[in-house]
Amino acid sequence: MLISNISAKVIANWLFSFGYLPMTNTICASNSPQRWQTLWLNVNLVTMIETEDDYGAVKEAALAISDGKIVWLGKEVDLPTYNKDTLEVLDGQGRWLTPGLIDCHTHLVYGGNRANEFEMRLQGKSYQEIAEAGGGIVSTVKATREATAAELLKSSLPRLTALHQQGVTTVEIKSGYGLDLTNEIKMLEVAGELAKQLPVTVKRTFLGAHALPIEYKDDPDGYIALVCDEIMPVIVKQKLADTVDVFCENIGFDIKQTERVFIAAKKHGLAIKAHAEQLSDLGGTELAAKYQALSSDHVEFLSEQGIKAMSAANMTAVLLPGAFYFLRETQHPPIELLRKHGVDMAIATDVNPGSSPICSIQLMLNMACTLFRLTPNEALAGVTRNAAKALGLSSSKGQLAVGFDADIAVWNISQPAELCYQFGVNPLSALIQDGRQVI
């Protein structure tokens, strides 16, 4: 690759990673081989440090970890002298290391399931028709309200376990099936509890504006007032979420209602994201850009104007191929235009009972390529670097780089594209979370 193709940021990142740039005192201290705790030898790295097309790959590499952080990585021949008796040395046997995968959009805490609606759809009813007839999200709200926290935990744990076993070290979990104070809190507390049960980082998002609960069926503005004035302040006070999401859609909330939620979120210092342009183009993404949202998610119906707004606000487009597939959508997200305007693309499962009951990040990698025609490099960036960006975690997760969290997946593959190419045989060989081997 020509040096002119690489941005200054990329060069700085590489120089920093390989020890040619000055580092902060803390990193310098732990970077000395005397302080290393674990050293992987004989590995290949998919760093996902932003280069144009080669996964930021480093072959015949080594990687050192200390205090939960990556402290050295590079060609094995360039390793500084270290004392093998003072640290754990592991032979990677030529395996590939990627950043731990990040699923940046899920609704994996919910009660019941919607297999009956799946059958209805197979008989010809659409997702929208089912929602308008009182099914859809609202039927999961009923089941979620009826479930105890312990029951929700029990039903969610296998879903998170499935993601974890496929290499996921960070997951975002949204509320949005409670739709009242007690039940939104219950969902977010269960999401917090999941992070205690499994070695996975859980980032929680308040999605009170997901659907209109039955008791507010004729008063959407009254419900938005409840979300903004009653529920959100408690969520903030109890630190149950740091991001707010809205389903901006004709079966969700309109632009004015969405804006009210964004204004309230900003007032509380919360980050913002949106489910927008999934089934129609209401302009939710442009609105989200106006409020410096982290991401707009789904975006099948996004216009070029919306894409320009995303680009100007440095937002990430979160693509959800599972929902596209499961709802048998035909409108593809505008991938070429997103590329043209330099909008970063993330990929996520959108695990939920209605539009994507699919707990597989590996299948999303495959679908991102087969259904949306992403390159494997783009797909992998979508579940690492760009997924971290969609969660506001760009400086600590999603790349193998010095100073980043040592969240690392170890794969039994012979080239990175295999992670997108083959599906059904799990190539995960080990998983490291915060420097600790957890699988």
Site residues for ligand NIG per CB under 6 A: 107, 136-137, 140, 247, 275, 278, 323, 350, 352-355
User: Using CA of residue 409, residue 415, residue 420, residue 426, what is the dihedral sign?
Assistant: negative
CB 271 within 8 A of CB 261: no
SS3 57: strand
Task: Give min distance, CB of 227 to Fe ion, in A.
Answer: 17
Helix residue ranges per DSSP H, 22-90: 25-31
Alpha-carbon distances of 65 from 32, 46, 58, 314, 369, rounded to whole Å: 11, 16, 17, 31, 32
Task: Give min distance, CB of 330 to Fe ion, in A.
Answer: 19
Which of 278, 384 has the CB closer to ligand NIG? 278
Which of 300, 405 has the CB closer to Fe ion? 300
Crossing angle, helix 149-165 and helix 181-197, to 10 degrees? 40
247 is in the binding site of which of ligand NIG, Fe ion, none (Cβ under 5 to 8 A by kind)?
A: ligand NIG
State the residue number with the nearest CB to Fe ion. Answer: 350
Task: Give min distance, CB of 207 to ligand NIG, in A.
Answer: 8
Task: Give min distance, CB of 367 to ligand NIG, in A.
Answer: 15
What is the rounded CA–CA span in Å between residue 370 and residue 360? 15
Q: What distance, in Å, lies between the first and last C-alpha atoms of the chain? A: 36
Q: Which of 166, 232, 165, 155 is nearest to 194 (CA)?
A: 155
Selected range binding Fe ion among 210-218, 259-267, 343-351, 381-389, rule: CB under 5 A? 343-351
Which of 257, 355 has the CB closer to ligand NIG? 355
Selected range binding Fe ion among 76-84, 126-134, 152-160, 342-350, rule: CB under 5 A? 342-350
How many residues touch Fe ion under the rule CB under 5 A: the total is 1
What is the rounded CA–CA span in Å between residue 356 and residue 349? 7
355 is in the binding site of which of ligand NIG, Fe ion, none (Cβ under 5 to 8 A by kind)?
A: ligand NIG
Using CB under 5 A, pick the residue from 117, 249, 344, 350 that binds Fe ion.
Answer: 350
Q: Are strands 57-66 and 69-75 parallel, antiparallel or unpaired?
A: antiparallel
Which of 107, 164 has the CB closer to ligand NIG? 107
Q: Are strands 96-99 and 101-103 parallel, antiparallel or unpaired?
A: unpaired
Task: Give min distance, CB of 389 to ligand NIG, in A.
Answer: 19
403 is in the binding site of which of ligand NIG, Fe ion, none (Cβ under 5 to 8 A by kind)?
A: none
Which of 137, 420 has the CB closer to ligand NIG? 137
CB atoms within 10 A of CB 150: 10
Selected range binding Fe ion among 133-141, 160-168, 332-340, 348-356, rule: CB under 5 A? 348-356
Q: Which residues contact 96 (CB under 8 A, 6 or more apart)?
A: 43, 44, 45, 46, 410, 411, 413, 415, 416
Task: Give min distance, CB of 392 to ligand NIG, in A.
Answer: 19
Task: Give min distance, CB of 352 to ligand NIG, in A.
Answer: 4
Which of 167, 354 has the CB closer to ligand NIG? 354
400 is in the binding site of which of ligand NIG, Fe ion, none (Cβ under 5 to 8 A by kind)?
A: none
Which of 248, 402 has the CB closer to ligand NIG? 248
Which of 55, 326 has the CB closer to Fe ion? 326
Q: What is the Cβ-side half-sphere exposure of residue 354, based on CA atoms within 13 angstroms?
A: 20
Task: Give min distance, CB of 304 to Fe ion, in A.
Answer: 24
Residue 45's DSSP bridge partners are 58, 97
Task: Give min distance, CB of 357 to Fe ion, in A.
Answer: 12
Q: Classify residue 131 by burial, with Cβ atoms within 10 Å: 0-12, 13-18, 19+.
A: buried
Q: Which residues contact 122 (CB under 8 A, 6 or more apart)?
A: none
Which secondary-structure segment (H or E) carries 9?
helix 8-17
Which of 38, 140 has the CB closer to ligand NIG? 140
155 is in the binding site of which of Fe ion, ligand NIG, none (Cβ under 5 to 8 A by kind)?
A: none
What is the rounded CA–CA span in Å between residue 64 and residue 407? 12
Which of 117, 350 has the CB closer to Fe ion? 350
Q: What are phi and psi of 76, to 5 degrees?
A: -60, -35
66 is in the binding site of which of ligand NIG, Fe ion, none (Cβ under 5 to 8 A by kind)?
A: none
State the residue number with the nearest CB to ligand NIG. Answer: 354
Task: Give min distance, CB of 354 to ligand NIG, in A.
Answer: 2
- Per CB under 5 A, residues contacting Fe ion are 350
